[in-house]
Amino acid sequence: MAPRKVAKQRSTANNRPLSNVDAFDAPQSQLSQESQEHVTKKVEDAINNSKQQARKRRKERHDAVFQATNARCDELRGLIDEAYGRYEDKLEEIRNAKLEHLEQLLQQRQELEQSLDDDEGAMDKLYMTMAEKLQIALDSRLENLA
C-alpha cells in the first residue's frame, strides 16, 4: 500500500494553524501576554541578579588582590625596616670604630707633642749646659792667655 500524502495546514504569521477557534482566543492571548511579561520580568531579574553576583565576585577578587598586595607590602616594609636596622647598626659600629681610632690618634698626637716638648726642654738644657761649658772653657783660656 502506498503512503498517503498528508495535506499541510496553512498557518498565520505567528505560525498558528488557521482555525475557527481564533475568535475565542482572547483570554488565552491575554494570559499568554501576562505570562510573557512574567517570564520577561523573571529573565530581567535573573540578568540583574547575575550582574549583581558578577559585581560581587569582581569586588571579592579585587578585595583579595588588595589584601594580598597589602600583605606583601607589609612583608616588604618589614624586610626594609630589618635591613635598615642592620644598616644603622653597622653604621654605628663604623662610627664607633672611627671614633676610637680618632681618639687613639689624638692620644698619640698628645704623647708626641709631650715628647717633643720634653725633647725641646732637654735640648735647651743641653744647649745651656754646652754654652756654660764653652763659656767656662773660654774664660779659662782667656785667663791662661792673660
Per residue in 7-19, pLDDT (tens digit) is 555 544 555 555 5
**Which residues are paired to 17 by β-bridges?**
11
- What DSSP state is assigned to residue 14? T
d(CA 34, CA 27): 10
Instruction: Give domain limits for the chain.
Output: 30-107
From residue 46, alpha-carbon distances to 31, 38, 40, 52, 113 in Å are 22, 12, 10, 10, 97
Quickly tell me which residue has 607590602 as its cell: 73
Rounded mean pLDDT for each run of 10 residues along the chain, 146 residues in total: 54 52 55 84 94 96 97 97 96 97 97 94 93 92 84
Cβ atoms of residues 48 and 42 within 8 Å: no
